[in-house]
């Protein structure tokens, strides 16, 4: 199917660099088409600084065309038929018509160049990404009904889903990602193929799986993408801890559906993100992934008590370790691993505040333990309330309002975000006449505990407390 388009037809404007590049290729005797996601986004009122093109020109021929025109260019993707360039702030890739497949035992794609645009489109992942805009004529080439599927909110593959997922199993993850990003429904045959072939995702490198997972979690409705992964069995291989949350619900309903609860917490955490000028600009991966993973320690800690109740003691600590282990397996960076695991570890810390109340020292410890994750912890804790009991929900919300107010009040008085002992290391060594070493660290930690417990003290009071502590230490006799 071919339609002639112009800018008035599209919901998003077409950047001038697109038609400029098209004219350059045609003048040199080659075909050029804008293809894939950028074409799809033209009908979704979305724009992207990244533009993908396909051509019958070889990489060498593409270089000859773009060298005089591009602001800069690079050849890292030459073996895959891709030349990258930058023009007027846009990142552009031009790829020779191609086929891409995986050897059943390999993690790496095998690339073969194709001959026609239509054949190139057939080899793409989904029909909504199998549309091309011929340039500079502005002809929409849509042989597989991508525009119709986009309007219907349906995700289909150009050919047989099993063939598409066999060629590149990562496409199954992309299906879940599009469910999250676009709110799109997956066609029944696509869902069936995902379920039948889920195990094949294991041949894909952890890094590529991780990148798709991040895009999914940052989508508009990540709970939909996660649910598709779980229902299809993909999560059994990518996030087995989340699949395991589907605990068998006992007939007496002595505990909530942990899996559905986790999806609800994820959804609520997304809604609590603030704008770009706020404390947690959205979309925020750390908050969202912590919300998804916060209860993954429950399956391993579930216990049926003699009273008939169900307990999950220490599931926060167990969940933190499981989260860190999974993120390491997916090759996440250390900072992200530490942040998400720490939030999972701390997500239960608030409970009990409403009943017993906390001393100022307990509030200080809460802030100190959260560190730069405090704003995310606020949102995670609030998101974790999914009870249908309105009174309980209101009581918890009121208690957390009170805790945040106390944190704010103490912060104004004591600079909570930078809590330090009242004496630094140099002062400790001078006062006790000791050299750098483990003893200084012990003294520093002692003074930090004093600061947490009693708040800021004068230098004289801190010195007196330190001297009293020092008198009880075995090293004091030899100093």
**What gap in Å lies between CA 140 and CA 21, rounded to an integer?**
17
DSSP 416: G
Assigned token pair, 323: 């989260």
Q: Could you tell me the pTM of the whole model? A: 0.81
What pLDDT is stored for residue 104 in this prediction?
60
**What gap in Å lies between CA 56 and CA 178, rounded to an integer?**
29
* 90-96 and 50-55 strand pairing: parallel
**What gap in Å lies between CA 34 and CA 457, rounded to an integer?**
67
Size of the chain in residues: 479
What pLDDT is stored for residue 253 in this prediction?
46
Q: How many CA atoms lie within 13 A of 360 on its CB side?
A: 14
What pLDDT is stored for residue 251 in this prediction?
42
**What gap in Å lies between CA 275 and CA 283, rounded to an integer?**
9
Q: Which of 154, 189, 127 is nearest to 1 (CA)?
A: 127
Assigned token pair, 292: 């998804």
Helix (H, G, I), strand (E, B) or coil at 35: strand
What pLDDT is stored for residue 252 in this prediction?
43
CA 64, chain centre distance (Å): 39
Q: For 2-152, CATH number?
A: 3.30.460.10
DSSP 302: -
What pLDDT is stored for residue 254 in this prediction?
47
Assigned token pair, 5: 């388009």
Q: CA torsion sign, 361 to 364 to 365 to 366?
A: positive
Q: Which of 102, 117, 107 is nearest to 36 (CA)?
A: 117
Q: Which of 167, 276, 283, 164 is nearest to 216 (CA)?
A: 283
Q: Which of 333, 36, 328 is nearest to 178 (CA)?
A: 36
pLDDT in tens, the chain (479 residues): 545 555 555 555 688 999 999 999 999 999 999 999 999 998 888 877 789 999 999 999 999 999 999 999 999 988 889 999 999 999 999 999 986 555 665 555 566 777 899 989 998 999 999 999 999 999 999 999 999 999 999 999 999 999 999 989 999 999 999 999 999 999 999 999 999 999 999 999 999 999 999 999 999 999 999 999 999 999 999 999 999 998 755 444 444 589 999 999 999 999 999 876 678 998 999 999 999 999 999 998 988 888 778 888 899 999 999 999 999 999 999 999 999 999 999 999 888 665 666 777 788 888 888 889 999 999 999 999 888 888 888 888 888 888 888 888 777 665 555 566 777 778 878 887 888 877 877 887 777 777 777 777 787 888 888 788 888 888 776 66
Q: CA torsion sign, 402 to 405 to 411 to 417?
A: positive
Where does 347-373 have alpha helices with state H? 353-356, 360-370
Which phi and psi angles does 9 have, rounded to 5°?
Answer: -80, -25
Helix (H, G, I), strand (E, B) or coil at 133: strand
**What gap in Å lies between CA 211 and CA 183, rounded to an integer?**
19
Q: Are 124 and 90 in contact (CB under 8 A)?
A: no
Q: What is the per-residue DSSP string for 88-126? A: TTEEEEEEESEEEEE-TT-SSEEEEE-S-HHHHHHTSS-
**What gap in Å lies between CA 461 and CA 445, rounded to an integer?**
17
Q: Where are the domains of the chain?
A: 2-152, 156-238, 265-418, 425-478
Q: What share of the chain is helix, strand, coil (3-state, %, to 5)?
A: 55, 10, 35
**What gap in Å lies between CA 332 and CA 247, rounded to an integer?**
27
Where does 218-333 have alpha helices with state H? 222-232, 234-238, 240-243, 258-272, 285-293, 298-301, 315-329
What does the buried/exposed string (b/e) look like for 421-450 if buried means 16 or more CB atoms within 10 Å of the residue's CB? bbbeeebbbeebebeeeebbeebbebbeeb
Any residues with CB less than 8 A from the CB of 346 and at least 6 apart, and which?
A: 316, 369, 370, 373, 377
Give burial (CB, 10 Å; 0-12/13-18/19+) of 266: buried
Bridge partner residues of 33 (DSSP): 54, 134
CA 292, chain centre distance (Å): 10
Q: Are 450 and 465 in contact (CB under 8 A)?
A: yes
What pLDDT is stored for residue 432 in this prediction?
79
**What gap in Å lies between CA 420 and CA 456, rounded to an integer?**
9
**Given the structure tokens 């309105």, which residue do they identify?**
390
**What gap in Å lies between CA 232 and CA 226, rounded to an integer?**
10
What pLDDT is stored for residue 111 in this prediction?
66
Q: For 156-238, CATH number?
A: 1.10.110.30
């Amino acid at each position: 199917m071919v339609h002639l388009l112009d800018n008035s037809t599209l919901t998003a404007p077409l950047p001038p660099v697109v038609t400029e590049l098209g004219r350059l290729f045609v003048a040199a005797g080659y075909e050029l088409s804008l293809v894939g996601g950028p074409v799809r986004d033209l009908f979704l009122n979305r724009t992207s600084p990244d533009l993908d093109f396909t051509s019958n020109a070889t990489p060498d021929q593409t270089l000859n065309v773009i060298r005089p025109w591009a602001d800069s260019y690079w050849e890292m993707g030459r073996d895959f038929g891709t030349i990258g360039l930058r023009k007027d702030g846009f990142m552009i890739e031009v790829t020779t018509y191609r086929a891409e497949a995986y050897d059943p035992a390999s993690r790496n794609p095998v690339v073969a160049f194709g001959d026609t645009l239509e054949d190139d489109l057939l080899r793409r992942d989904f029909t909504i990404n199998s549309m091309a805009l011929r340039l500079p004529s502005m002809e929409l080439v849509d042989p597989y009904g991508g525009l119709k599927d986009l309007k219907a909110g349906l995700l289909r593959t150009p050919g047989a889903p099993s063939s598409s997922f066999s060629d590149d199993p990562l496409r199954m993850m992309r299906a879940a990602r599009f469910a999250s990003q676009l709110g799109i429904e997956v066609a029944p045959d696509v869902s069936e193929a995902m379920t039948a072939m889920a195990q094949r995702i294991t041949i894909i490198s952890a890094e590529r799986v991780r990148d798709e997972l991040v895009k999914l979690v940052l989508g508009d409705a990540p709970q939909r993408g996660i649910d598709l992964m779980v229902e299809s069995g993909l999560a059994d291989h990518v996030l087995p801890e989340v699949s395991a949350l589907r605990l068998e619900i006992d007939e007496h309903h002595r505990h909530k559906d942990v899996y559905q609860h986790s999806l609800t917490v994820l959804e609520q955490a997304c809604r609590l993100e603030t704008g770009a000028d706020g404390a947690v600009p959205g979309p925020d991966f750390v908050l969202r992934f912590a919300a998804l993973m916060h209860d993954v320690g429950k399956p391993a800690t579930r216990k049926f008590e003699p009273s008939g109740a169900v307990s999950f003691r220490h599931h926060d600590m167990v969940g933190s370790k499981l989260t860190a282990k999974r993120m390491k397996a997916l090759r996440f960076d250390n900072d992200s691993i530490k942040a998400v695991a720490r939030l999972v570890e701390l997500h239960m810390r608030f409970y009990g505040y409403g009943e017993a109340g906390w001393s100022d020292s307990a509030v200080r410890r809460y802030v100190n333990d959260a560190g730069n994750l405090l704003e995310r912890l606020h949102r995670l804790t609030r998101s974790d309330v999914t009870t249908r009991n309105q009174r309980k929900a209101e009581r918890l919300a009121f208690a957390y309002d009170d805790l945040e107010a106390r944190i704010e009040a103490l912060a104004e008085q004591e600079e909570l975000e930078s809590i330090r002992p009242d004496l630094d290391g140099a002062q400790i060594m001078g006062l006790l006449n000791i050299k750098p070493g483990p003893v200084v660290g012990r003294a520093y930690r002692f003074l930090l505990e004093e600061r947490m417990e009693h708040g800021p003290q004068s230098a004289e009071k801190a010195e007196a407390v330190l001297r009293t502590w020092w008198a009880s230490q075995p090293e004091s006799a030899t100093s």
